[in-house]
Amino acid sequence: MKDLESLSAFQAAKKLAKREIKATDLLLACLDQIGQRENIVKAWASLGKENALARAKALDKGAIKGLLHGLPIGIKDLFDTHDLPTSYGSPIYANYYPRTDAVSVALIRQAGGIILGKTVTTEFASFKSSSTTNPHHSEHTPGGSSSGSAAAVADFMAPLATGSQTAGSIIRPASFCGIVGYKPSFGKISVAGVKSLAPTLDTIGIFGRCIEDVALGVAVMSGDHELANVVDLHNKPRVAVLKTPGWQYASPDTRGAIALARFSAETFAKGKVSDIDLPAELHQLTQIQTRIMLSEMSRSLAFERMQYSKKLSNLVASQIDQGAAIEYKQYKLDLDQAITARKMMQNLFDENVDLIIAPSAIGEAPLAKEGTGDPLFCRSWTLLGLPCINLNVSSGHNGLPIGVQLIAAYGKDQFLLSAARALALALPDPVLRDQA
């Protein structure tokens, strides 16, 4: 079969389980794509070709291992891997080999996944731009911090790749690269073995090219295997558009994408898609998230700041200093306000809405020289710990992808995946319906 690299993870997994294709052939197809494109996209921090090929050959000969049997997978270079270097995007950890895998990586291997390599992350998953380019236009950013993971999946180098989000590092790159990015409910996947930036916020997720792809990945990493079966919606959900307090910064392209998503959601929503606003008490969530993130970052990177300050970028060093300047009293107040906000948000879901449509990013991917893009439209949802998924719904004025994110109540991950598929199927563009 030709063009194996273009198969979605879900499609490939089904064919591998039925022995219709070989893991070795799929891996070689991905490696060939990397060979042709890596000099432009620069998605990979390291590749484990020999180990991956040996694993693929063994899987082709042995029994089916699990949900990810034979799938080549990219691992964000923030996740520990015992057999590949893990640099966390920093020269401080060049050629560092952890003794163990991150929990999520171990579960991927256990389910038959093949670790293809480590994808580029920004420095300690912060806002320092990486060398990775946007596969749709090399002068533009793929977003951050999961730069390499999003770019690798979008450019058909791997069907799945892991990511993490502390502000907007899954949803924003997925939007910029035109793929599906899924940040599950906070705590759904263990963060053990993943370099911490802000433990109150850090959330593990994944990138794929369709909804079943990301469902498969999170099912394995979380142990919630029921997620792997994306079911049809049984009841029409209450759907609402929430423009958030930063709506004035949304580009015309983003506003158009939200309008298109609203139109598409009308086909499966209970009644009309409504507009809702956050209560006034929740209008400071972005600022609260920013302070918590910086404060916790200053402690998470205290060792690096003390021992290797000259190897930190000016941007990361400045962020650490900003976080250290936040008094603990303010930090504690922000944590308390976050708890209150989560309760208020749950009440909003209980009483008014099942599914929220919101912007994923301000607009198209900006030029790489302008940075990784503003996570403005993701910060609040990360703080609230809610499950979010990005769908590609349109293109902007430069022809680059524009996504929207769907948000559900805490713990409603299975519903979110079903609702996302319903929206993807309702999109007017038949190409974008392939996300379903």
Cis (ω within 30 of 0) for the bond into 145? yes
- Segment 146-161, tens digit of pLDDT: 999 999 999 999 999 9
Q: Which of 170-179, 274-283, 346-355 has the lowest mean pLDDT?
A: 274-283
pLDDT in tens, 52-67: 999 999 999 999 999 9
Return the axis-axis angle of helices 376-384 and 328-351, rounded to nearest 10°.
80
Catalytic residue (choose from 87, 169, 185, 394): 169
pLDDT mean across residues, the chain: 97
One of 42, 76, 118, 188 is an active-site residue; which one?
76
Percent of the chain with pLDDT over 70: 100
Q: What angle do CA 51, 17, 420 make, to 5 degrees?
A: 100
At residue 170's C-alpha, the angle toward residues 164 and 172, to 5°, is 145
Pairing of strands 180-183, 114-119: unpaired
**Which pLDDT score is estimated for 266?**
97
Helix (H) or strand (E) holding 355: strand 355-359
For residues 104-122, average pLDDT: 98
Q: For the chain, how many residues are written? A: 436
Domain spanning 4-228 has what CATH number? 3.90.1300.10
* Residues 326-341 pLDDT 10s: 999 999 999 999 999 9
Q: pLDDT per residue over 366-423, tens digit each? A: 999 999 999 999 999 999 999 999 999 999 999 999 999 999 999 999 999 999 999 9
> Which residue among 87, 126, 130, 145 is the active-site one?
145
For residue 244, what pLDDT is reported? 84
Q: Is the pLDDT of residue 2 over 80?
A: no
**What letter does residue 191 receive in the DSSP assignment?**
-
Phi, psi of 395 (to 5 degrees): -125, 155
- What is the rounded average pLDDT of the residues 204-227? 98
Residue 169 a catalytic site member: yes
Question: pLDDT band at 1, cuts 50/70/90?
Answer: low
pTM: 0.98
Is the pLDDT score of 234 beyond 90? no
243 carries an active-site annotation = no
pLDDT for the residue numbered 378:
98
For the chain, how far is it from start to end, CA to CA, in angstroms? 23
Known catalytic residue: 145?
yes
Amino acid at 54: A
The domain spans of the chain are 4-228
Distances (CA, A) of 51 to 30, 57, 76, 405: 15, 10, 17, 36
